[in-house]
Chain A
Amino acid sequence: MADILNIGVTGLSASQSALTTTGNNITNANTPGYSRERVVLQPQPQQYLGVGYIGSGVKVAAVQRIVDQFYVGQLRSDTSTFNSLDVTATQLNQLDSLLADQSTGLSPATQQLFSDLQQASQDPTSVPTRQVVLSDIGSLAQRFNTLYGQLQAQGQAVNQRFTDLSSQATSLAQNIAQLNQSILDQGGTSTSPNSLLDQREELLRQLSELVGVKTVEQTDGMVNVFIGSGQPLVIGNTANTLSAVPSKTDPTQQTLQLSVGSSSIDVTSFVTGGQLGGLAAFQSGTLNTAFNTLGRIAISLTDAMNHQQRLGVDLNGNAGNNLFTDINSASAMSARVLRPATNTGTDQPSVFISNPSALTTSDYQLSFSSATAYTLTRASDGVAVASGTLAAGQTTIPAASSVDGFQIQISATPTFASGDRFTIQPTRLGAQNISVALQKPEELAFAQPIRTDTNTANKGGGIISQGQMVPEYQAPVAAASFNIANPLTQPLLIRYTSATAYQILNNANPAAPVAFVPALTGTITPGQNNIVQINTAAGVPSYQITLAGTPAAGDQFTVTANTGGSSDNRNALALAGLNLTQTIGRLNFADAYGQMVADIGAKTAAVKNNRDAADTLLTQSQTNRDSVSAVNLDEEAANLIKYQQTYQASAQVISIARSLFTSLLAAFQ
C-alpha cells in the first residue's frame, strides 16, 4: 500500500510539473523568441518481486525545449537578407521620389529655362523677358543646390543610422556575451537553461536584423558570433565593439569600425546583410553615384552655357560674362581632392576640368608608391587610368593631357611621400557649387559680336550668311579657315576676284582696304554653301561665315563688329539650342537626367522585388520555426485536460491506497 501511495504521489508530482509547464507555455504564447517546452516523463525503476517486475511510478526526466536548429539558423539568415533589402528599398524609394517629382526634380526647371530662352530670343531687347531668363537660371541653380542638399541630408541620415545601428549591435553583442557566461554558469549544454537559450536566440535574431552574422556553438554551450567575412563580434563571454567613425578618405561619410582589443579594422566593405549591410551598399553604390551623376550634369550645363554666353555680346554691347560661377574656380578645384590626415606629404593637389563631356560619374584614387611614382585609379572599375613618375617641374597629372575630362594640378616642387593617397572627386560637388554669377538681365549675351553686309553695288547673286560664332559643340566643318589677329574687332572685306575666287582684306579703313600679309585667298563652289572659318592668330576657331550664291567678279562683302546690334538674337538661339545638344558624352541634359532617373527607378524596382521575395522567404522560415517552436493553445488546452485527468487519477490512486489502508485497519478492530 505504501507502494501504491508512493506511485500515486509520483503521478501527482509529475502531473503537477506537466501542468506547470503547460501553464508556462500558455502564458508565454506571445513571448517573442519563446520556444514551447515539454515535460519528458519516464517510468521509475521497477522492482523485482519474484514473479515479475512491478512499476514504481513515474518521474520527470527533463523539461525539453522544442527547437529545430536548422529552422533557427534559416530564420536568422533570412532576417538579415530581408532587413538589408528593406532598408535599401526605403532609401532608394526616397531618392526615387525626390528625382521624379515635378516639384523637386530637375526636369521642370531645365524645361522652363530653355522655353523662356526661346521666348526671349523673339524679343532680345526686352529687359523683362531677360529678367525671366535670369530668374530661371537662378531657380535652376537653386534646384541643383536643393537636390544636392537632399542627397546630402540622405547621406547624413545614413551616417546617423550607421552610428545608431552599430551601437545597438554592440549592445546586443554585449548581452549575448553575458548570456554566454550565464549559460555556462548554469551548466551549459548539460542542464539546458531553456529561458536563457531562448533569450540568446532572440538576441541573435535581433542582431541579424542589424547585420548578417555567422554563429558557431562551442561544446560548452557558448556561441561565437562573426560578421562580414569572419570578423569576430562575440567570442565566448567577450564582446567586441562595432562603431561608426568618419572615413579616412572621405570625412563626410561614416564607416564601420570593429575594435578588437586595442586594434581596430574597417569592416564597411565586408559587412553584408542586415540594415548595416544594406546601408553600406546603398551609400557606396547608389548614393555616391547619384551625387556624381547630378554633379556631372551641373558641371556640363554650367560649362556649356558659360561657354556660349562668353561667345556672345550683351545688351550693352559688351562681351558676355559667365552665367554661372566658373567650374574651375580655385575653391571648386581644390575641393575636388580629399587629403587624408594620415598622408605624410604636405601637398594638396587640385582638379581642373578640361572637358566636361568626357567626365565619368566615378571617383578616383591617386596614390604614391614613392615621392614621385603615382597611380591614378578609377574607383568604378579599378582601372589605373594614369600612372608614371613625376618629372622635375611637372605641374599636372597626367603631364600635358587630361584623363576622363580632367587633369590634376600639383605644385612644381611637390612634396609627396610614399604611401600618400588622395581621393579625387571631379563631379561630387558639382550640384552644390553651381551658382549664378550674372546679376543684371542686360548682361545676358543674346547677340553675337560680328555681322556681315553686302555691298549695294554688287552685280552677282552672291550671298553671305550673318556669321555664327563657333560653338563648343558640333561646329560645322569649314571648307577654308584663316588665322587673323583679334578677329572679333578686325573689319574684313571679302572681295571676289572672279566668280569663284575671293580675297579677304583688312577693311579697317573702308576707303582703302589693304591685303593681309600673307594674302588670304580662297575659292568657292558657286551655288553651294561654302563655310569659311576665321580663327585667332593662334588658330583658335572664332567664327564661321557661309558664302553662297553665284557672285560676280568685283562683288564685295564686309564683316564688321556688331556694334549696337541689340536686336540680334543669334546667341539667344544658340543658348536655347543647348537643350538638344549632346553635351554629356552622347546625351543632352534632359537625356542625362532621364537616364539617372530611369537608372535609380530600375534599381528601386529591382530592390523592391527582391525585398518582396526576401519577405516571402522570411515569412516561410518564420512559419517553419513557429510551426515547431511556438505555442498552440488548443494543444495546450488538450494537455491541460490530459494532465488534469492524470492528476485526478493519481489522486484517486492515493485515495484508493488510503481506503485500502483504512479497510486493513478496520479488519483488526
Chain B
Amino acid sequence: MADRVSLVQVFAQGLRGILSAQVAVGKTQGQLSSGLRVTTPADDPAAAAQILQLDQTQANIDQYKKNITGATNNLNMEDSSLSDVSTLLTRVRELSVQAGDGTLTQSDRQAIAAELSSRLEELAGIANTRDANGEYIFAGFQGQQAPFVQSGSSYSYQGDTGQRLVQVSSSTYVPVNDSGKDIFVAVPSNRLPTSATATNTGNGTIAMGQIANQNQFSAQFVGPYAVTINTAGPAPTYQIDTIPAGAPVATGNYVSGQAIQFNGAQIDIVGTPGNGDTFTVGAPATQDVFATVSKLVQGLKSLSDSASDKQRLTDLISETLDNVDSAQTNISTVQAKIGARLNTLQSTSDLQDGVGLVNQQVLSQVRDLDYASAISQLTQQNVVLQAAQQSFAKISSLTLFDFIH
C-alpha cells in the first residue's frame, strides 16, 4: 500500500467499495427474485449446456406422455369395438345353432336369416367405426374412406394393411391400430376352401372341407385337389387328383351327402352332379367374417326342406360355427395384442414419470437457487455494503481544514 493517500483515492476507493457491494447485493437479489442460480450461460457455461439438454429431454418426456395418452385412447376405443364384435359374433353363433334345429321350416329359417342380415349390417357398422377425428379405425392407412363397402350380399374391404405407430419413448413405437383385413377378412381358418366349377351341369354342391385326421392331413395334404364325378357307369363314382393332374389320390363311389375322406381331409358333396362335373379343394387359408355370415344368410333364405337341402344346411351350419369360432379366436388374439400394447404404454408411462422426476430433480439442482445460502449471502453482502457506506462517510468527513480557524 502506498504511504500517501490522495483525496481522489479516498473518494474513488470508498465509492468503489460501495458500488461493488451494491452490484453483489443486486445480483443475489436478482437470483432470489427469479429463483434461478444460472440466469445467463456465462454464470455457468457447463450448467447452461446441461440445462438446454435437460429442458429438451423434459419436453420430449412431456410429448411422449401426451402420445401415450392418445395411444391409450385409440387402443381402448379399438378394444371396445372388438368387444362389441365379439358379442355380436356370439349372437350369430346362437342364431346359427338355432337355425340348425331340424324341426324348423324354411320360413322359420328365413326369419332367423332376417335377424342375421341385420346383424351383418351391425357388424359392418362396427367395422366402419370412426374415431374422434373422423378417421375409420379399421381402414389401415385409408382412414378417410369407409373400409367395408357392401358388394352384393356381402361386404368387401377397401382399406389396406397399414399400421400406424406412435412414438412413446426415444426408442419405443407402439402400433395404435389394426387393419380390418387382419381382423375381419384374413381370419385363419381350419376349413378347406372348396368350389364347384362354373360349367358343372348337375346340381351337386360342395360344402367347405374340414380336417378329419390332423396327423394324416399334416403329412399328406398338399392341395389343391380336383374332385371329378363320373356318372357314366351304373353307380356314380368320384376321383380325386392333384392339380396339376398326377396319379389319382383317391377314388370311390359317390353317394349324395356321404362324406369323402382323403389324405386326412373330409369333403361333403350333396345333390346330383352331372357326368364330369368337377369340384376343387384348396389348402386351409383364411376366411372373411362377412362372407361367412352372408353365406349363412343366403343358405337360410334359399335352402328348402328337401332332404338334400337339409344335408346342405347341416354342412353350412357346421362350417359357419367353425368359422365363427375361428373369428372369435382371432378377435381375442387381436384383443390380447391390444392388451399387451396397453401394458407397454402403462409401463412406458411409469418409466417416463420416473425419468421425468429424476430429470426435474437434476434440472433443479443445476439451475435452481439454494435459497438458504442465497439469503445468508444477501445478509452478509448487506453488512458489507453498510460497512462500506458508513466507513466512507466517516473517512471522507475527516479533514484538517476543519481545524484551521
Interface, chain A (partner B; CB < 8 A): 29-30, 36, 92-93, 96-97, 99-100, 107, 111, 114-115, 118-119, 121-126, 447, 451-454, 456-459, 466, 562, 564-570, 573, 576-577, 579-580, 590-591, 593-595, 597-602, 604-605, 608, 619, 622-624, 626-635, 637-638, 640-641
Q: Chain A contacts of B285 at CB under 8 A? A: 456-459
13 pairs across A/B with beta carbons < 8 Å?
A124-B164, A454-B161, A562-B162, A564-B144, A565-B142, A567-B142, A567-B162, A567-B164, A569-B164, A598-B41, A600-B41, A633-B400, A641-B404
With A125-B133, A573-B167 given, is the CB distance from A605 to B43 under 8 Å?
yes
Q: Chain A contacts of B286 at CB under 8 A? A: 456-457
- CB contacts under 8 Å to A, within B1-46, are 2-9, 12-13, 16, 40-46
Residue from the set A126, A447, A623, A631 with the largest chain B CB neighbour count within 10 Å: A623
Alpha-carbon separation in the docked complex, A156 to B240 (Å): 94
Q: Taking the nearest CB of chain B, how far is it from the CB of A275, in angstroms?
A: 20
Q: Which of B64-72, B264-272, B375-383 contacts A (4 or more CB under 8 A)?
A: B64-72
Does B371 belong to the interface (CB within 8 Å)?
no
Contact check, A597 vs B6: say whether CB atoms are below 8 A apart: no
Residue of A nearest to B170 (CB): A580
Q: Chain B contacts of A622 at CB under 8 A? A: 12
Q: Which of B40, B45, B67 contacts A93 (CB 8 A)?
A: B40
Interface, chain B (partner A; CB < 8 A): 2-9, 12-13, 16, 40-46, 48-49, 52-53, 55-56, 59-60, 62-64, 66-67, 70-71, 74, 133-135, 139-145, 160-167, 170, 173, 176-177, 181, 185-186, 282-286, 399-401, 404
Contact check, B9 vs A626: say whether CB atoms are below 8 A apart: yes
Q: Taking the nearest CB of chain A, how far is it from the CB of B41, in angstroms?
A: 3
Alpha-carbon separation in the docked complex, A570 to B45 (Å): 38
Residue of B nearest to A106 (CB): B52
- If A562-B141, A567-B142 are given as contacts, then 11 extra A-B residue pairs at C-beta distance below 8 Å, sorted by A number, are A100-B48, A451-B161, A452-B161, A567-B143, A567-B162, A590-B52, A590-B53, A591-B53, A626-B9, A627-B5, A631-B8
Q: Which of A30, A605, A624 contacts B45 (CB 8 A)?
A: A605
Q: Taking the nearest CB of chain B, how far is it from the CB of A114, in angstroms?
A: 8
Pairs A-B, 5 closest by C-beta atoms:
A601-B41, A567-B143, A627-B2, A630-B6, A565-B141
Contact check, A126 vs B6: say whether CB atoms are below 8 A apart: no
Q: Which of B60, B134, B186 contacts A456 (CB 8 A)?
A: B186
Q: Chain B contacts of A121 at CB under 8 A? A: 166-167
Q: Chain B contacts of A632 at CB under 8 A? A: 4-7
Residue of A nearest to B66 (CB): A119
Q: Chain B contacts of A568 at CB under 8 A? A: 141, 162, 164
Q: Which of A567, A576, A631, A640 contacts B404 (CB 8 A)?
A: A640
Alpha-carbon separation in the docked complex, A114 to B133 (Å): 21
Residue of A nearest to B283 (CB): A459
Contact check, B59 vs A111: say whether CB atoms are below 8 A apart: yes
Contact check, A630 vs B40: say whether CB atoms are below 8 A apart: no
Q: Chain B contacts of A92 at CB under 8 A? A: 42
Contact check, B166 vs A595: say whether CB atoms are below 8 A apart: no
Alpha-carbon separation in the docked complex, A96 to B9 (Å): 35
Q: Taking the nearest CB of chain A, how far is it from the CB of B276, in angstroms?
A: 27
Q: Chain A contacts of B284 at CB under 8 A? A: 459
Contact check, A466 vs B162: say whether CB atoms are below 8 A apart: yes
Alpha-carbon separation in the docked complex, A634 to B145 (Å): 99
Contact check, B6 vs A631: say whether CB atoms are below 8 A apart: yes
Alpha-carbon separation in the docked complex, A612 to B265 (Å): 95
